[in-house]
Structure 1
């Protein structure tokens, strides 16, 4: 079929790419005097209702995400012959595939690019979308008006919403990058499939090679001396054939790549939000939520350790971690402090989720006392806060075990879910305020109430939360063992 000269008001200049289902053309928006890319469904597929719907769904997902770290969609329409098209960002600086044709990238450049790519994927994961086809040709570069360039993740043609992943899922992806579960019918890939793709991208960028089969694979540093040990560990865990071992999502993988220490197998926090639910009149706004998720994604620090890695319980007054389960909590909380017995073990588990300075069972207990007076049935519909830790449903969704890959929680919230999620929140966002002045424990308490940015703007605990942290401080003194 003859190439079109126009797609709506967009004047098509040249073909810039052809795939199995569609072609991409460079076009000019003469009204706004700007180059754009126009993606047009191939004629032989345009009559297939299922393919046509999948093509349009890609445009809808990109529009819904609406992030500068993803290709953005500006318009949609049909050609005169009935073929659908959509208009998107023009990547004038080419693809990652083209850059890798010249060999591996520098380690610092790889980590910088992967930070942006992970943040783009974190946006998708935050809205419940799995890309499923990460590869170098789907990472694009676009000039910035002020100079430099930005990275964009593209091609959601086989992306799936996690709302639909419980149904039959067909094999999909590209060899070398696709996770093992994507090779099978009904593999139901989730965000961890994208983590595998991110690991393969990182491996390729560092070594110039697509990862070999698992039984033949070596760490990147074996092929590229100078790759840090922590990067080796993060990449190899991302590529693990067992998705239960991989990082839980793009945000957790980004944090592992930026960590100076070797990453241990764990269950890191998922798709975080930087803001904590607030009291009436101070509820967290989620408008523009993708921007919040992107900002938080780069900061997530996966520090929680599993039960099998925790040492034996401490003697009173010591600071080593307690067991994941057990009834002996007196080494962490005063026995006569008035903390309900049924919550003591949960409090110890949450307060020892990681080694974040200031985090302790006494802090968690004191915060629960101030938040709800240990009332598991607390219900505050006006501020949309519920349960013993005053979570809002949307925020708890991000911090619950399983994160956005688990069903959105609905009140009433169990004490176990509420308390353990507090530890996940603090282990993830605590490092972002660690260097600010102030008592480490009280900074975490304020963080739980206000989020990261208010603490940074105040260079410590904001004035509006000092009454709250003062109460927490008094209860902490009551709850700490002698």
Structure 2
């Protein structure tokens, strides 16, 4: 299956983005002379009936809501090769994640954007839908109709949303750490609309402070002194670990946010910043990793009260590359990796994404590249059934399932499905989650992270650095690291 040239009557122009389960393409409706976004299920999931149904269900839910505050679906169909797709609103000004790459928004602007997101979530809740994955990359920005400087905020991605008739059934962990409520990390945590209140609180915090909330749940005014104390109180209540103490609904959170704000100016939002502005068999992610992960699906992602994460906050609770510079980093891989090195060009954007997933001592794209070289020699087809390790990063399927997009809410990948697009970003998630345990451990932070990837954070902490067994591996990583760091 190659790159599609068309989806039904819609021309496909270029790739906008891709994840482990679907890709989004810029297309054109030539009959209506209008750009559209086309979401296509990834080919390696096309034969999975349950995944296909979830994909189609997302389109149905978006169509059902039919709100301008959510991405709207116009059409649905199948490519000639059988992959389902749906056609939706094109967000020509990117995502909120990209907007936040430049840092916190001015307070009035941040609160105005937050209120628009709240209204979109209210539209979902009015129809009995809980989003469950509110985060900056799922908030899109589109030019307002008629041109000019106005913008429209739209919520996207209902891939893990739950409707009223399913909220009482068994639920698996789902969401994005840093933004998901504590109950979402539990099997049968029965997340209701208060889980989205937590997500709204985390998004509002990020808008105001320039980073997602860390475990300490400090007031956003500590990062942005212009934030009023009353706004601090409203946001922190939304982030309460105990959902009984949160605002009971998105509507209540929105009202409280408005009442706490003395003035929200009504000027149009500014233009978006320019685009440039073991794993192992239970070896590796290791026996220690798997033991921790398998301690129960409810605790596997064990995010705790502040939701520190696998995707956004670093060991110090600061914002990660994905929530800060990382949104732009992949556009300029040579800024992060030596241009003349043997790091394959086609993998550099993924490596930069993983290496800037969070802000953490030792983590960098050069480290990810060095580890991939040591693990597989950049071989995307590596297969080691004896160790149950596959792909460019030598993942074990039963471990990768925790670090893939959506975590346990999605099926365990088969060896043939462990592509670089799935396995390289998972390294960033893994290192950002467990790496926080290494704070204060002596030695080179980068090599401590590399050793942790081979064994576990517990072993590295107990050894006060790289365990003797893994020093040959980290020495190899150190050599490659020197080769890959930009001059």
What TM-score do you get using the length of structure 2 for normalisation?
A: 0.53
**1:403-462 CA distance string (max 9 Å, x none):** xxxxxxxxxxxxxxxxxxxxxxxxxxxxxxxxxxxxxxxxxxxxxxxxxxxxxxxxxxxx
Matches of 2:241 and 2:197, distance apart in 1: 11
Cα 1:83–1:245 shift into 2, 3 Å? same
CA distance in 2: counterparts of 1:132 and 1:103, whole angstroms? 25
What SS class does the counterpart of residue 16 from structure 2 fall into? strand
Aligned to 1:229: 229
8 Å Cα contact 2:234-2:260 kept in structure 1: no
Query: Alignment RMSD, CA only?
Result: 1.1
Aligned to 1:163: 165
CA distance in 2, matches of 1:224, 1:261: 15
Q: Deviations over 1:39-61 (max 9, x none)?
A: 00011111111110000000000
Q: Map of 1:144-293 to 2, 5 A cutoff?
A: 144-146=144-146, 147=148, 148-213=150-215, 216-260=216-260
CA distance in 1, matches of 2:196, 2:217: 19
SS at match of 1:98: helix
Aligned with 1:199: secondary structure?
helix
Structure 2 contact 228–261 (Cα < 8 Å) conserved: no
Tell me if 1:33 matches 2:33. Answer: yes
Shift in Å, 1:162: 2.2
CA deviation profile, 1:71-103 (whole Å, cap 9, x unmatched): 000000000011000000000000000011111
SS of the residue corresponding to residue 59 of structure 2 reads helix
Q: How does 1:332-481 map to 2 (within 5 A)?
A: none
Q: How many equivalent residue pairs?
A: 260
Q: Give the whole-Å Cα distance in 1 for the aligned partners of 2:32 and 2:260.
A: 46
Deviates more, 1:221-230 or 1:44-53: 221-230
Q: How far apart are the structure 2 equivalents of 1:250 and 1:93? A: 26
Residue matched to 1:43 = 43
**Alpha-carbon distance, 1:228 to partner:** 1.1
What is the aligned partner in structure 1 of residue 72 from structure 2? 72
SS at match of 1:201: helix
- Residue 238 of structure 1 and its aligned partner are, at CA, apart by 0.3
**Distance of 2:173 and 2:5 partners within structure 1:** 36
Structure 1 residues 261 and 83, CA gap change in structure 2 (3 angstroms): closer
User: Structure 1 residues 222 and 53 mapped into 2: Cα distance closer, same or farther (>3 Å)?
Assistant: same
Gaps of 5+ in 2: 263-487
The residue that corresponds to 2:115 in the other structure is 115
Deviation at 1:107, TM superposition (A): 0.5
Distance 1:127 1:23 in 2: 27
Aligned to 2:243, the other structure's residue is in SS state coil
Q: Calculate the TM-score normalised by the size of structure 1.
A: 0.53
